[in-house]
Amino acid sequence: MIMKKRTMRNWMLGGTLLLLASGCETLSWGEEGKGALSIRMQRETAVVVKASTSFDDYHIGIVNGSGTVVSGPLGSIPDPVILEPGTYTVTALSEQTALPAFEKPIYGSTVDVGVVAGVKNTLQMICTQINAGLRIVYDHDFITKYHTYRVEVSGADGALTYQKEELRTGYFTPGTLKIVLLVEGEDPVHISKNVIARDMLVLTVLLGQTNLETKGSIELLLSADTSRVWRREEWKPGAPSNDGVTPETAYTVAEAQSLSSGTNVWVNGYIVGGDASNSSFKSLPPFTANSNLVIADSPLETVRANCMAIELPTSPASLRATFGMPANGASLLGRMACFRGNIETYFGHTGLRATKEGL
């Protein structure tokens, strides 16, 4: 079964889709009053493909306001597809499940297209990676000192265990990854990191260089493994990974929700909607409220309890000019943003009020 339309739209808004072009030609169809759609696909040229190498195996979904019109592998659907005139959402996925797995990147794209009676549209789409990869490696000194260890990584859709001999890359749905290093004879070491689509990260586990003669501390070094997203971060156990003092150490949504209050702190997350209320929020435009937007740790989040509403007061005016959802929502959805304000109850949930700044 093809994934829900909202899920695929959120992937697109997270920046994982490119549309090359659509060509059209006027033809005469045997079925009067209908149009046609021909789908052509390719992958981004920078990608080293580990998913299915045949586009015929990609799952295609064509949906309109009435529901699913076409669903199945690309190789099994007609070319072109004859459709009633109207607007359709076309989606493509190399895999239909987003569960964490080793060596299983997922490629996909989604786009809206109009079908006109008597006209054949040729839609050419670029498929990009929509999940994130994480590989675990160990420093020589760490391997020498310890003999029994593993890393457990959990995300929005499940978890993977990296045994000490594991060299493969695990792939996860974008959002917050909770990473736990378990070493025999040591306390568990925890770290949380946000990942986005197309991230390819390597986590290096190493010993602290200041204490090797005694017990030895453990450090985690996180850096990017490809040229797509370059990051380098160091983390030492014993201190919180985020303290909310600066944009660089902003709280995640989950961390902010665990606090009863906080004054003049930074919180970051993916913009997932607007028009917040106590029980819901809108995840797709059009939006009507300039006074708030909604963020979450995953760009795919739709559950209100897992989100934070961010108040956008009238002053400073730049907040609503930049982040007001009625005017900017279509371009903001799926984007990572960071806001400074006070952690308080807002629409019945933990939120951010008296917002002073947004990045």
Q: Range with the lowest mean pLDDT among 200-209, 233-242, 258-267?
A: 233-242
Fold match between domain 5-129 and domain 247-358:
no
Give the model's pLDDT for residue 32: 72
The full set of domain ranges for the chain reads 5-129, 132-235, 247-358
Q: What is the CATH number of domain 5-129?
A: 2.60.40
Rounded Cα distance between 354 and 264, Å, is 9
Distance of CA 279 to the CA centre of its chain: 23
Cα atoms in the 13 Å half-sphere on the side-chain side of 208: 13
The secondary structure of 204-263 as a DSSP string is EEEE-TT-TTTT--EEEEEEESSSSS--EEEE-TTS-S--SSSGGGPBPHHHHHTSS-EE
In the structure, what pLDDT confidence band is assigned to residue 224 with cuts at 50, 70 and 90?
A: very low
Banded model confidence at residue 7, pLDDT cuts 50, 70, 90: very low
Percent of the chain, pLDDT > 90?
34
Give the pLDDT of residue 232.
40
pTM of structure: 0.55
At residue 247, the pLDDT reads 87
Amino acid identity at 17: L
Q: How confident is the model at residue 215 (pLDDT cuts 50, 70, 90)?
A: very low
pLDDT for the residue numbered 254: 86
Least confident of 27-36, 127-136, 289-298: 27-36
The fraction of the chain above a pLDDT of 70, given in percent, is 79
Mean pLDDT of the chain: 79
Q: Is the peptide bond before 316 cis (omega within 30 degrees of 0)?
A: yes
pLDDT at 24: 54
| pLDDT tens column, 39-82 | 887 765 444 444 445 788 899 999 999 899 999 998 899 988 99
Q: What is the pLDDT of residue 241?
A: 59
pLDDT at 284: 86
What DSSP string runs through 303-317?
-GGGEEEEE--SSSH
Question: What is the three-state SS of 122-148?
Answer: EEEEEEEECCEEEEEEECHHHHHHCCC
CATH, domain range 247-358: 2.40.50.200
User: How far is 340 from 266, CA to CA, in rounded Å?
Assistant: 4
121 pLDDT exceeds 60?
yes
The architecture CATH gives domain 132-235: Sandwich (2.60)
